[in-house]
Structure 1
Amino acid sequence: MVTHPDALPVPTAPLMEPTAADMERYSKRWWRHKNLRSLNAWMLIPLISIFAQGFDGSMMNGLQSVSHWRSYFGTPTGATLGIFNAAYPLGGIAGVFLIRIPADRWGRRVGIAVGASLCCLGAVLQGAAVNLPMFVISRVALGAGSVVVAGVGAPYITEIAHPAQRSTATALFLTFYALGSITAGWTTFGTFRINGEASWRIPSALQGLPSIIQLLLVWFVPESPRWLVSKGRADEALAMLARYHGEGDPNDAVVRFEYHEITTMLASEKEMARSSLWEFATTPGNRRRLAIMIWAAICSQMSGNAFVSYYLAPVLTSVGLTTDLQQTLINATSQMVSWFSALYFATLPEKLGRRTLFLGSLVSMWIVIIAITAGSAEFDKDNDNKAAGYAVVVFLYLFSPAYNLGFNGNLGLYIPEILPYHLRTLGLSVFYFVQFCFMILSNFAVPVGLENIQWRLYPIFVAWVMVEFAGVWFLFPETKGPSLEEIAWIFDGTPEDKLARDALDVEKASVAVTEKVAAGG
């Protein structure tokens, strides 16, 4: 086993693309490989980066059903309730500016640690809040920290996972959102019976638990080989790849090919990398990447998911389910349905394709929202129509699986993989900035809409999801199959295309000089 880069022999095997057998050796029965088992275990640390966001949405759903929380903060509704929930994405907007610097300058592990520290601070303030301003400030800190760990965690997994497992490993990232939701849902279900402030302070403080785990253990996770190469530490990158992707053999076909791709691609990117927002406007491929990130961020927040993520309690109240027990139980069990569906759907991108899952998810959500609208309208006509009310609950349960089909693991995989290394953390910062902006819009608009026009708000989303479908249809290419480095060719063309373009540019420049000399003569 390679334990130190100085002990690593120089690779001598000829460079050849790995065969299907080479990849299957690690994708099937991966648990038989000691170092790959270790890598997959350590990947749990960046995988829980999104846990905090899932915990927050479910916790706020649960707290709105807890009598002691409502009475302590004056039973917030409408715009006041919107402020409670919008504070979190407001912090997220501030946090996007903290993603790139620590992660690109000092490494992915330091980036995770910075975000986890902010989450711990926010959880302490939230659990100890004595008034509305303190609770809001705590949620700003939590939002900032959670977006940093999420923005670093996603590319971290993409960059350290074995190539045979990269799609599934990265797709699993957003499934931990649902795991956080389950934890918060059952926590609030268990604590709402406590007669006192502990009924809401306990779940508020527990939001910091995954961040404490990350702070303690992230230093044992291997650093990204792509980051190491970018910092001139190629020997350490090869040592990491050999140990965890080749079971200690630097001449393993997968290791050799992966190392060659990483070093070649990063050398090419380094020649042209300006790594600024302006670069997203300089080429057709980058402009398309930017459009996809913006549209994906909008779809992830404006498809009606705010009802289930943050405002389940008002929706349940509107169909006659008003008790603390009913609402906290539905919140907790619906999150379990969400998590189990997310885990299964995380295995589908490599089988069905990313674009297929996005489109299928939008169609499914469209059908579910229509059903929720119809059931709510019928219950509004006749409050004794329990069948209509229960039908709404059933489709509320089905909304999360419909959303998870395309916008959970599939989204967590798609955004990091369409971005080249030197734009990966910057691009994710852009994605989260747009996502949290629309989360704020949703968090302000939905409670006001529910308070003023009730179920009549839902048809807006029926129409909007159709617009989202059209955007995905025309913008999103399929990325199933190619390696992480080869996906760039879908947007920028193959290396041969680049050489042809460079030759054409040289030819044009030569012609221009010749014409200028002739004109001067």
Structure 2
Amino acid sequence: MGASKPTPCPRAHTLANPMPESRLDIDHWWRHPNLRTLNLLLLIPLLSIFSQGFDGSMMNGLQSVTHWQNYFGTPKGATLGFFNAAYPLGGVAGVFLISPVADGYGRRMGLALGAAFCCIGAALQGGSINIAMFVIARVIIGAGSVIVAGVGAPYITEIAHPAQRSTATALFLTFYSVGSIVAAWCTFGTFRIDGTASWRIPSSLQGFPSVIQLLLVWFVPESPRWLVSKGRSEEALAVLAKYHGEGDENDAVVQFEYAEIQSVLGAEQSFSKLNLFSFFRELATGPGNRKRLFIMVWAAICSQMSGNACVSYYLSPILTSVGLTSDLQQTLINATSQMLSWGSAVYFATLPAKLGRRTLFLSSLCAMWVIFICITAASAMFAQSHANKAAAYTVVVFLYLFSPAYNLGFNGNLGLYIPEILPFHLRTKGLSFFYFVQFCFMILSTFAVPIGLESIQWRFYLVFVVWIIVELIGVYFMFPETKGPTLEDIAYIFDGPNTKYSGELEAGGDEVKVEHIHAELK
């Protein structure tokens, strides 16, 4: 791929027709009963990332709650890092259940399993009587959270109307911010309670969205792609017709989707029994898959090692370092910053379809780099003179701005990009691998950040100032643009015209070359 701009698709796509225009009024989708129902039901898998957002914000808030600090012996440094690292540690274990359940028993069953883990973990967390019980509960929640996240992203991608797929999938990670807001205001509202209820209430509420998922996921339609992969093609066509064609099986979009899914999954049939070893062997085979492998690893690293752990889990010690020490100040800043984060995440979820995925990744990293430079400089000035309130407030302002900068590229955009670069038979296994790498680096960042902040104070931020430049270089040279093509057609961007993952659609035996992907990627 060239350094100056995204490389367009390397070939003229061979299809009977590009995606036809939908006869439905997509701009006013609520006027169509079945499409309206589908989009409302999408809220169930959209809740899948809620628990992860809740966790970081809750732990931020609890560090500002005196009763939590006293109950667990005021954890600092490595001990505090262990508290927070227990969550991604559970996530590392949970990734191994994503593909066997979601591919073997369906997306709904996978979502239900993860939600059940989260419910159990939240109950134990709220009722914890010692450090060990609290940590074990966080391990269980971490396992459940990664399962629902690993299933929820491809689930949305596979059932959303094709005209709304990019926005629907991008909205997925915005619910991270919804969870963060709920947790932040919950800890703000309970920190005044004189007793352990000040931390037990938010700890228990972490399981509330999982209860909703566990009860309502059975009303969400199963993935048509999963149904076809299990030989249940008639059911798949019925789902597509009901929700994408308002009951009309002959709808042009429905027929296009159905034919393309049949063609692609038929070509992928020989890969459907991939085990763990053959999955990694395939990822290492061919330049296209090796590029997918690099992107998944690099995106996972960027999503966890860009300094976001500082804001997500350790806002309290950062605020303390610039003189903001009261429970009220810290919980209020946490709550209001999460609202800004959510607002930006929702708006930015509409941008991948307009501006492109790669553009947002690069813009996000540039913005975070500038913000960390400003935080570092202001923190150094405050360290020289604690009377310098302007420096302290500057740190707070840029802490507020960090989440929107991160959300620009690594919220909805990331949630869309990873599922869509993977062909169907690699999708849940690939996401499992992505979350495995992501949670490994989450363990590293959540454990290392409090130690770094305690040992070298503001100088620790310089690590991120340098490292974000390295991340930016990797994205600039290796991440292709995927804006434009259908979900099945993205394989051509990575594998070229001879991809083994796609079949050819024919009309009357005549193949017609169309340049729509090539043109849209320019």
TM-score when scaled to structure 2? 0.91
Contact 2:283 2:292 (C-alpha < 8 Å) held by counterparts:
yes
Shift of 1:195: 0.4
Contact 2:245 2:254 (C-alpha < 8 Å) held by counterparts:
yes
Relative to structure 1, is the Cα distance of residues 233 and 452 closer, same or farther in structure 2, using a 3 angstrom cutoff?
Answer: same
In structure 2, give the amino acid aligned to 1:58: S
**5 Å matches for 1:379-394?**
379-394=382-397
Shift of 1:18: 3.8
Residue of structure 2 in register with 1:82 after alignment: 81
Residue of structure 2 in register with 1:103 after alignment: 102
Residue of structure 1 in register with 2:204 after alignment: 205
Shift of 1:497: 9.2
2:490 and 2:499 map into 1 onto residues whose CA distance is: 15
SS of match in other structure, 1:31 = helix
Residue of structure 1 in register with 2:291 after alignment: 288
Contact 1:99 1:425 (C-alpha < 8 Å) held by counterparts:
yes
1:342 is the counterpart of 2:341: no
Report which stretch shifted further, 270-279 or 181-190: 270-279
Residue of structure 2 in register with 1:514 after alignment: none
Report which stretch shifted further, 271-280 or 190-199: 271-280
Aligned with residue 407 of structure 2, among 387, 404, 408 = 404
RMSD value, Cα: 1.4
Shift of 1:277: 2.1
Structure with higher Rg: it is 1
1:169 is the counterpart of 2:172: no
In structure 2, give the amino acid aligned to 1:373: T
**5 Å matches for 1:30-49?**
30-49=29-48
Contact 1:24 1:164 (C-alpha < 8 Å) held by counterparts:
no
1:355 is the counterpart of 2:358: yes
Residue of structure 2 in register with 1:260 after alignment: 259
1:136 is the counterpart of 2:135: yes
Shift of 1:383: 0.1
1:148 and 1:497 map into 2 onto residues whose CA distance is: 29
Residue of structure 1 in register with 2:331 after alignment: 328
Relative to structure 1, is the Cα distance of residues 254 and 209 closer, same or farther in structure 2, using a 3 angstrom cutoff?
Answer: same
Shift of 1:495: 5.0
Instruction: Summarize deviations over 1:335-372 as a string: whole Å, max 9, x none.
Output: 00000000000000000000000000000000000000
SS of match in other structure, 1:453 = helix
1:414 and 1:243 map into 2 onto residues whose CA distance is: 27
Residue of structure 2 in register with 1:158 after alignment: 157
Relative to structure 1, is the Cα distance of residues 105 and 115 closer, same or farther in structure 2, using a 3 angstrom cutoff?
Answer: same
Relative to structure 1, is the Cα distance of residues 375 and 499 closer, same or farther in structure 2, using a 3 angstrom cutoff?
Answer: closer
Instruction: Summarize deviations over 1:130-153 as a string: whole Å, max 9, x none.
Output: 000000000000000000000000
Aligned with residue 368 of structure 2, among 359, 365, 370 = 365
**5 Å matches for 1:199-238?**
199-238=198-237
In structure 2, give the amino acid aligned to 1:135: F
TM-score when scaled to structure 1? 0.91
In structure 1, give the amino acid aligned to 2:363: G
1:498 and 1:158 map into 2 onto residues whose CA distance is: 18
| Greater RCO (CA < 8 Å, at least 6 residues apart) | 2
Shift of 1:494: 2.6
Instruction: Summarize deviations over 1:269-305 as a string: whole Å, max 9, x none.
Output: 1134553222101121111101100000000000000
Shift of 1:28: 1.1
1:284 and 1:24 map into 2 onto residues whose CA distance is: 39
1:471 and 1:367 map into 2 onto residues whose CA distance is: 18
2:448 and 2:131 map into 1 onto residues whose CA distance is: 20
In structure 2, give the amino acid aligned to 1:398: L
Relative to structure 1, is the Cα distance of residues 273 and 107 closer, same or farther in structure 2, using a 3 angstrom cutoff?
Answer: closer
Residue of structure 1 in register with 2:72 after alignment: 73
Contact 1:300 1:435 (C-alpha < 8 Å) held by counterparts:
yes
Shift of 1:227: 0.1
Identity of matched residues, %:
73
1:50 is the counterpart of 2:53: no
SS of match in other structure, 1:99 = helix
2:24 and 2:56 map into 1 onto residues whose CA distance is: 40
Report which stretch shifted further, 266-275 or 286-295: 266-275
Aligned with residue 447 of structure 2, among 444, 448, 452 = 444
1:133 and 1:498 map into 2 onto residues whose CA distance is: 47
Point out where structure 1 has 5 or more consecutive residues left out of the alignment: 1-14, 501-521
2:349 and 2:26 map into 1 onto residues whose CA distance is: 15
In structure 2, give the amino acid aligned to 1:49: S
2:126 and 2:499 map into 1 onto residues whose CA distance is: 57
Residue of structure 1 in register with 2:305 after alignment: 302
In structure 1, give the amino acid aligned to 2:415: G
Aligned residues: 484
2:105 and 2:493 map into 1 onto residues whose CA distance is: 30
1:460 is the counterpart of 2:463: yes
SS of match in other structure, 1:451 = helix
Runs of 4+ deviating beyond 6 Å: 496-500
In structure 2, give the amino acid aligned to 1:175: T
Contact 1:16 1:253 (C-alpha < 8 Å) held by counterparts:
no
Contact 2:288 2:495 (C-alpha < 8 Å) held by counterparts:
yes
Shift of 1:492: 1.1
In structure 2, give the amino acid aligned to 1:67: T
Shift of 1:186: 0.1
1:312 is the counterpart of 2:315: yes
Contact 1:26 1:164 (C-alpha < 8 Å) held by counterparts:
no
Relative to structure 1, is the Cα distance of residues 178 and 497 closer, same or farther in structure 2, using a 3 angstrom cutoff?
Answer: closer
1:66 and 1:205 map into 2 onto residues whose CA distance is: 16
Instruction: Summarize deviations over 1:425-463 as a string: whole Å, max 9, x none.
Output: 000011000000000100111000000101000011000
Residue of structure 2 in register with 1:119 after alignment: 118
Shift of 1:102: 0.9
1:499 and 1:101 map into 2 onto residues whose CA distance is: 24
